[in-house]
A and B are shown apart, each in its own frame.
Chain A
Amino acid sequence: MRHPRIDPELRAALTIVGGVFPPTITPDLIPFMRRSYASGPREELLAGLPVTVDDVEFPGYAGARLSASIVAPEGVGGPLPALLAFHSGGMMFGDRFSGMDVVLALVAELGVRLVTVEYRLAPEYPYPFPVEDCYGALVWLADESAALQIDPERILLAGASAGAGLAAGVALLARDRGGPRACGMLLDYPMLDDRGVTASTKEFDGIGVWDRVSNETGWRALLGAAAGSDDVSEYAAPARAADLTGLPPAFIDVGTEEIFRDESVEFAARLWRAGVPTELHVWPGAFHACDIFARHTTVARAMIRARTDWVRRTLLP
């Protein structure tokens, strides 16, 4: 069989996923992916969840007025911890609710607020727009915490894939600019490194939902011709940061069968060496973002449980 190391339940899920989310994304597929990865109708997303949603605006890079949504647990008052979330989508597609089903469930389950951000997308808005938009959201959230009923000591940066790269970039910016300090960073299968030199980068061409070519497309959209050169900021590609000391406690999860496996594991190892409390989970047989595409499977459920447990410990000690 073609993908012997992918978990059998996940291999079955790929028969359904294939075609909706092609494993190899070239620039000509960006319009298709923007349609395909767009979140569904809000009523469907929130159906059955005891939450309220407020759409707000915040100042992004260079003061641009950008949108965000605050999802709050119904009937729970007072200052609450908050997840400041940056959605997945390879830097090029997705909206603030794309791939967010699992995170949305945490709002009521843990009694926390979710602030999810509509950062601007590459290639139309290359670096530094996306990460600076996200940093702008953090600063705004901290400034408005009293009005928004958010505990400023309990803001957790959370991202998946490209969003996780953005979360790490925001954490670095906050450290270096003396900005608001997040209480943790949740990095799900993070997109950290435009150099694409790890072994796992090359192992999964045409497999899963995000392969080497897709990654090159995303990094090139974000960085243009500078992608892969010496001329790339660590805020764009956090794996390049020489100094990881002083970053908030981290949680990293990644699958064994995805291109980000090695750069995620290396980043965790470097965080430990820098004295940053870090929890790392590497899920056997998992392809990239399997918890988004195949949430019902044994591996995805274990992944979600471990992550939820850490979020609970970090936000509600």
Chain B
Amino acid sequence: MRTHIKELRARYNLTQEDLAKKVGVRRETILFIEKGDYNPSLQLAHAIAKALQTTIDELFIFDEEEHLRP
């Protein structure tokens, strides 16, 4: 899974720590979501999308092949 979090953070001049504080998670969690190493819960994805004034659909890019793999 890829995300547009980094680009949107830059647009709103937010650091990973700022965004983490806004959504109530640790900074590393934002880092791993950005890198695609951690899939957030729907609740957290919604909170991040809201903080970055966008939608979940626009924020996260799902690789369907990756999801179909067992």
| Pair from one complex | no
A interface vs B, CB < 8 Å? none
B interface vs A, CB < 8 Å? none
